[in-house]
């Protein structure tokens, strides 16, 4: 079994493997090309993202700078918006549904390292997928780790560290991120009032 196969199947793998390193270099080069484009070079940006991601829907916009490890493990649905400085370590699948909005400085980190010093120092890693449902807003400076599923209709507050699954239709925030409460039908029709966020 190759290191790529191990990585994709959630097994421990050697991240220093030459084939994996070449794949990362290819993705890094595409990210550099993307990040160097001017804001009005929309067709060129679209071309690079379609080349980088394994799947991307209609009406997407990713604000540079953007960084990822491989690209081929990223899927996004329709109406996908990413603000400045997003990092996706997509050693495992990272899947976004439709109408997902990501604020600045967010990270999606599927990769992990052993607690054992010898294995960690030998470049052994593992990776678990991240899934984000439809109609999700992720606030600025949020970290989402591997193995997490975020449901549909969710708002994740700024500065959160998401280490456990989040169910549908809730407001969640904190470190670690916790469900605060369900989002009401009334709230869906108006702007979120942060002074009422914990009521």
Q: Which residues are catalytic?
A: 113
- 3-class SS at 26? helix
3-state secondary structure of 40: coil
Residues 6+ apart with CB under 8 A from 85: 65, 66, 104, 105
Assign residue 57 a region: left if phi > 0, alpha if psi is -120 to 50, beta otherwise?
Answer: beta
Contact of 180 with 198, CB cutoff 8 Å: yes
Please count the other Cβ atoms lying within 10 Å of the Cβ belonging to residue 177.
22
Separation CA 119–CA 116 (nearest Å):
6
Tell me whether residue 90 is exposed, middle or buried, using C-beta atoms within 10 angstroms of its C-beta: 0 to 12, 13 to 18, 19 or more: buried
């Amino acid at each position: 079994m190759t290191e790529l196969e191990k990585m994709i199947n959630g097994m421990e793998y050697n991240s220093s493997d030459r084939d994996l390193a070449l794949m990362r270099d290819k993705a890094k080069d595409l990210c550099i090309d993307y990040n160097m484009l001017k804001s009005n070079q929309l067709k060129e940006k679209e071309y690079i993202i379609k080349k980088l991601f394994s799947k991307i829907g209609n009406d997407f916009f990713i604000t540079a700078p953007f960084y990822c490890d491989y690209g081929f493990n990223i899927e996004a649905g329709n109406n996908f918006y990413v603000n400045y400085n997003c990092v996706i370590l997509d050693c495992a699948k990272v899947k976004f549904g439709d109408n997902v909005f990501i604020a600045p400085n967010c990270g999606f980190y599927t990769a992990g390292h052993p607690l054992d010093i010898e294995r960690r120092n030998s470049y052994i890693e593992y990776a678990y997928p991240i899934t984000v449902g439809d109609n999700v807003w992720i606030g600025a400076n949020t970290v989402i780790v591997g193995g997490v599923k975020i449901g549909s209709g969710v708002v994740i507050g700024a500065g959160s560290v998401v280490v456990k699954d989040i169910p549908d239709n809730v407001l969640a925030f904190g470190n670690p991120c916790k469900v605060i409460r369900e989002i009401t039908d009334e709230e869906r029709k108006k702007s979120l009032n942060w002074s009422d966020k914990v009521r």
